[in-house]
Structure 1
Amino acid sequence: MTSPLVQLDRVRFGYSDRDILTDVSLTVARGQVVAIMGGSGSGKTTLLRLIGGQVKAQSGSVMVDGEDVGMLSEGPMYNMRRKLGMLFQFGALFTDLSVYDNVAFPLRERTNLPETVIRDLVLMKLQAVGLRGAHTLMPFELSGGMARRVALARAIALDPMLMMYDEPFTGLDPISLSTIGQLVRELNDALGAASIIVTHDVTESLAMVDYVYFLSGGRVVGQGTPDEIRASSEPFIKQFINGERDGPLPFHKPAPDYALDLGLAHD
């Protein structure tokens, strides 16, 4: 059995006296599309930052392709990041660059390829997301779904071994949402890569991922295949996938007595 492409082992991370992740272990194998779900503030995006080496775990280990990310110096860290692709929430396109130049950017920055080869690669990546005909447009001329697809083409420009998606479905209409979901799956399979998706979209994710991890309270509180998640009787998972207000994940953040805060309490 091959070793996992990504492996987190009992990872803890926080800021000052506030822990974000307290004990997180998970694995992602090559070829897998894995979703990370949980309430707002549960540490999902922090997990992506740990994998990308933007922050380092206070304890535990974060392994990517056999390397301990927390132990890498600047040069090896840069080389490791060349193997990663990232789709940011809302795309994060360079607003003053055309669609073509947005996708060409990582190729120009990280390779010494001649411009003729870069042109062919850019058009190939845009063809893969259905937007070769939009290569001359500027970002302000794109719809939200089109912008997300251009950002996806840019993210796969260097054929990464690992793709990370931070809320890729946010703000999309149903057609664009379904299109992005299908592209994520198809591109992952075509590249022979692995993908990690941070998302709140239960329906779309369960239709296209291989495995799901649920985060809450800094820990993995549930995991399984889509079929296992749908059949789960675990209270947190049931609350999350059914959108229930009452359950282990509270609607109200802990606070002092409401009447006391309003000055209505009596002795």
Structure 2
Amino acid sequence: MSAPLPAEDILVDVSNVDFAYDKRPILSGINLRIPRGKLVAIMGGSGCGKTTLLRLIGGQLRPTGGQIRVAEHDLASLSRRDMYRLRRRVGMLFQFGALFTDLSVFENVAFPLREHTDLPEDMIRDLVLMKLHAVGLRGAHKLMPNELSGGMARRVALARAVALDPMLIMYDEPFAGLDPISLAVVGQLIRKLNDALGASSIMVTHDVHESLEIVDYIYFLSGGKVVAQGTPDEIRASTDPFVKQFVNAETDGPLPFHFPSDDYRKTLMEVRP
């Protein structure tokens, strides 16, 4: 595994974090670090707490234990005003894009600029066209979301996520529902924009093979815990049963097919009234 980084090189530091909905535990003792300028993937089976972890880092939820620091700010100690100020420096690409359906492509990308800045309209116009040009869709700025393909919509959402040149970009299943070509295009854009902006990125995804081509580091979650981590090369070479099952899409392994329940045979043999 890679050597630990100095504290000043860490943008997001998640330390011993627990989280539960009511009394149902979701995350337990989570430790992970997101270095400045790096693209980090969080992987794991459905329901293991990946999206919940994104919400905790974004300050939408508060942990029931542990600490989360973003840009050296302890999220638990921030006032609402300071939290909103910090969020302006964070971009978010939601699953399936989540574009405003009644706004054009241009207006979707312009929205965060108008919401969070006092820039004049001519400057907003130039910035929007620059962001759309970066994702290859400057020529589509007049289109409405219902006129876009799935891949185009995801690229517009990506342009909107980076409109304010964020220090941190979070992606929730950015490849969901995309065809192989669109998936590759979006993956390369995520990598190129991260490097061009000098940002840090956290990507929650199930797409192992595309992620291994673009990310710097990977954390695997299972049962609400970090069960494996490493660089793409370390993950490819791993003999860990969980990693092998997940990377190779094997049906047998530590991740069970059945949700925990009573003994099946015993249940069938129970005497019914």
TM-score between both structures, scaled by the size of structure 1: 0.97
1:49 matched to 2:55: yes
Counterpart CA distance in 2 for 1:115 and 1:264 is: 72
Amino acid at match of 1:89: Q
Deviation of 1:145 (Å): 0.2
Q: Deviations over 1:14-44 (max 9, x none)?
A: 1111110011000011110000000111110
CA RMSD of aligned residues (A): 1.2
Q: How many correspondences in the alignment?
A: 266
Amino acid at match of 1:98: S
* Percent of aligned pairs sharing the same letter: 68
Equivalent residues of 2:172, 2:204 under 8 A apart? yes
- Equivalent residue for 2:109, pick from 103, 107, 123: 103
- Equivalent residue for 1:231, pick from 225, 234, 237: 237
**Unpaired segments ≥5 residues, structure 2:** 1-5
Equivalent residues of 2:12, 2:35 under 8 A apart? yes
Q: Report what 1:148 is aligned to.
A: 154
1:26 matched to 2:26: no
Deviation of 1:257 (Å): 2.9
Counterpart CA distance in 1 for 2:159 and 2:121 is: 18
1:163 matched to 2:169: yes
Q: Report what 2:70 is aligned to.
A: 64
Q: Report what 1:173 is aligned to.
A: 179
Equivalent residues of 2:9, 2:36 under 8 A apart? no
Counterpart CA distance in 2 for 1:209 and 1:3 is: 17
Deviation of 1:256 (Å): 2.2
Deviation of 1:260 (Å): 4.6
- Equivalent residue for 1:194, pick from 181, 195, 200: 200
Counterpart CA distance in 1 for 2:240 and 2:266 is: 35
Amino acid at match of 1:231: A
Q: Report what 2:139 is aligned to.
A: 133
Counterpart CA distance in 1 for 2:70 and 2:76 is: 10
Deviation of 1:55 (Å): 0.4
Equivalent residues of 2:175, 2:183 under 8 A apart? yes
Deviation of 1:152 (Å): 0.3
Counterpart CA distance in 1 for 2:263 and 2:34 is: 43
1:258 matched to 2:245: no
Counterpart CA distance in 2 for 1:69 and 1:187 is: 26
1:115 matched to 2:108: no
Deviating above 4 A after TM superposition, structure 1's stretches of 4 or more consecutive aligned residues are 263-266
Amino acid at match of 2:129: L
Q: Report what 2:255 is aligned to.
A: 249
SS in 2 for 1:109: helix
Counterpart CA distance in 2 for 1:105 and 1:232 is: 44
Q: Report what 2:94 is aligned to.
A: 88
Counterpart CA distance in 2 for 1:151 and 1:140 is: 13
Counterpart CA distance in 2 for 1:163 and 1:265 is: 53
Equivalent residues of 2:109, 2:163 under 8 A apart? yes
Counterpart CA distance in 1 for 2:9 and 2:124 is: 33
Deviation of 1:264 (Å): 4.5
SS in 2 for 1:230: helix
Deviation of 1:70 (Å): 1.7
Counterpart CA distance in 1 for 2:192 and 2:103 is: 27
1:209 matched to 2:207: no
SS in 1 for 2:247: helix
TM-score between both structures, scaled by the size of structure 2: 0.95
SS in 1 for 2:118: coil
Counterpart CA distance in 2 for 1:55 and 1:73 is: 14
